[in-house]
Amino acid sequence: MTRRLNITLCLGLPLLALLIGGVFHLFSLRFTTGDIYPPYSSLRADPLGTKALLDSLASLPGVTAQGLLDPLPRLPGGGRDTTLLVLGTQPRALELMPAHDFKEVEDFMRAGGRVLIACPPMTKEPRLSDDEERDTPGEVKPKSQPKKDAKKSDAKKSDAQKAKDKKKEAEERLPEEMRRVKLSTKWAVSLAYRELPHDETGATRGIEAERVGSDAAMPATLQFHTALHFRDLGPQWRTNYQRVEQLAIPSREVGGPWRTNTVRTGLPVVIERSFGLGTLILCADSYPFSNEALRRNRQLDLITWAIGANHRVVFDETHLGVNNDPGVAALARRYRLHGFFGALLVLALLFVWKSTSPFIPPHSDADLDGRADLVEGKDSASGFVNLLRRGIPASEVLAVCFAEWKKSFSHAQSHLRPRRERMEQVLQSETARPARERQPVVAYQQISRIYKERK
């Protein structure tokens, strides 16, 4: 049996250690690449992340780069000498932002902060829900065809309108800072989409955005992979890059032949505006800041321009759902409570040890004989006596004992009936005496002698 146990331990322990090491290695690989985080997170090291940019900036002398896991108002120093990169922002979240988010970003920029908001690559316009509408100025909607069942159509419109009204009422009941505000209303800019070109296989391909202006510090062209662009810009906006398209427009003079004129049109993809002491930049694509772009198509001039002259760069993670929500373990590490929890663990182990085994080994029966230093009163008989003392008054002990004896023995032995009557007389005479004059021990001895008399 011992040999088999030794063999099992020799084989099982190394296998168990190998299993634990393999599981730890798998988790380590997963957390090292960071693919458990959303795209364009600074915690991802794969092509879709931005960890390479954060590490590169952090290695520069005089530049501090960090990820932001807490709300923006908790950032020490506010927006002074700070660039905030909000990469991978979904277009629908940008178009309808809560009012308090707008306020936080605007306060950050008024303090001198520089904010860059970039969206992920979009190959097509995101699908709208039933209760959402997009206002498109200049678009002519085709006339709807007459429907066969007008009543059903009216009923559907009525239900949709009721649902929309209920949602509007619910939003109006919200506090002012919790209501969602349109991007066009707050910052005088709207989002639009233009389909990407396709190659021979039907797959979408990237586009080149051209620089607007003569700033030689910025690259002449940028590689973009998105159908998103900006429109309806207010006068405070300045276009830095635009997607150029050539439109063929047929025309002819009166009486002349038809001719095709090529017209260049620009769709803004990178725009900028001043906001207080700071700057706001909107970029239609986050690709130039990704790990993949830094390896294949590095645009250092664009990154330098986007960061500006600030010495602190903050990568926002909260808009991606990565928040600093500390649990008990994190709080214990923060406040250095390792010793406290270690002491609790030691106390718990000592309590378990005390409960399972006594500290002093028990004496053998041979050692108990002749020991004068042992404390009596801990056996079952003394426990029974203590129980009687607590439950029965001393003046009633003899009567209770006699009553129990009658119930247990007297009914089985008929020859004890005369003796029982004499015993009862002794008990009655003892009970009739005053409490101070009673002698229960003497009465007990008399009852015992009567019981032991021979027939």
Strand, helix or coil at 152? Answer: helix
Greater confidence, 312 or 204? Answer: 312
- pLDDT(326) > 70: no
Q: Which residue has the higher pLDDT, 26 or 58?
A: 58
Contacts by 90-94, CB closer than 8 A, 24 or more apart: 90/119, 90/120, 90/126, 91/119, 91/122, 91/126, 91/191, 91/228, 92/126, 93/319, 94/119, 94/183, 94/191
Per the structure block, which two tokens stand in for 117? 């908001």
**pLDDT > 70 fraction of the chain, expressed in percent and rounded:** 75
Is 20 a member of any domain? no
Note whether 314 and 403 are same-domain residues. Answer: no
Co-location of 252 and 399 in the same domain: no
Task: Return the pLDDT at 311.
Answer: 93
Q: How many domains, the chain?
A: 3
DSSP result, 253-281: -TTS--EEEEEEEEEEEEEEEEETTEEEE
Distance (Å, whole) CA 50 – CA 208: 22
- How far apart CA 158 and CA 398 sit, in angstroms, is 94
Full-model pTM = 0.61
Residue 136 above 50 pLDDT? no
Residue 381 predicted with pLDDT over 90: no
185 and 90 in a common domain: yes
Compute CA distances 43 → 25, 49, 72, whole Å.
Answer: 19, 7, 18
Identify the residue with better confidence: 427 or 32: 427
CA distance 215 to 217: 5
Q: Is the domain of 335 the same as that of 319? A: no
Q: How far apart are CA 151 and CA 144, in angstroms?
A: 16
Instruction: Answer yes or no: is 230 within a domain.
Output: yes
385 and 243 within one domain: no
Residue span of the structural domain in which 416 resides: 379-452
Question: Is residue 305 domain-shared with residue 347, that is, in the same domain?
Answer: no
Q: Per-residue pLDDT averaged across 271-281, rounded?
A: 93
Q: Establish if 320 belongs to a structural domain.
A: yes
Report if residue 351 sits inside a domain.
Answer: yes
Question: How far is the first Cα of the chain from the last one, in angstroms, to the nearest whole number?
Answer: 67
